[in-house]
Copies of this chain bind each other. A is one copy, B any other.
């Protein structure tokens, strides 16, 4: 599953968890960002399996604003690659599958179904306009991206996420008509036998990221 072995001192203690060590390793502790993928397709059904798991994760007012564009045709890959930062272009062209994850700023259209308890929600968000809806859509989508990365790994897939691209260019290229706003581009597949990932870097420890009042 990984191209490197963890240093023993870095293997987290999972005794405080209800999930087993193999699952912890699959989803987090041994999972690695992958830049070099093995040949082979990623089926829609694999991405759907991931989504069908993680769509149950909480979002603001149950807005569920994450959207997924699967970039499959050679022509669409070229169009996307043209908006990527230089260092990410070859990756998009080479990956088994690349998805653009976007926030739907028209999420309010689904509120009567997704949040029936919220009377008049659709109308209030319609009045707020795209600029008024974008912050909530963006935040919940990025939280859902966290779930999605976990879900793709749960489905046996590996990811390489890229923030380096022209967001406005991607939106004009693919989302001119539907209110989606691109957040992240993610390559998806299985790791190449060699050179799939960079050497693992450390993370901040709990006492470095937390405080108590």
Residues in A lying within 8 Å of B, measured CB to CB:
12-20, 23-24, 26-29, 31, 33, 44-49, 51-58, 60, 62, 64, 66-73, 76, 79, 104, 110, 113-117, 136, 139, 142-151, 154-156, 159, 161, 163, 174, 183-184, 198, 201-206, 209-213
Q: What chain B residues lie within 8 Å of A148 (beta carbons)?
A: 146
> B163 contacts A204, CB within 8 Å?
no
A209 to B100, CA, bound (A): 12
A207 to B39, CA, bound (A): 26
Count of this chain's copies in the oligomeric assembly: 2
> A163 contacts B150, CB within 8 Å?
no
A210 to B148, CA, bound (A): 13
> A213 contacts B31, CB within 8 Å?
no
A67 to B62, CA, bound (A): 24
> A55 contacts B203, CB within 8 Å?
yes
A53 to B17, CA, bound (A): 9
> A149 contacts B58, CB within 8 Å?
yes
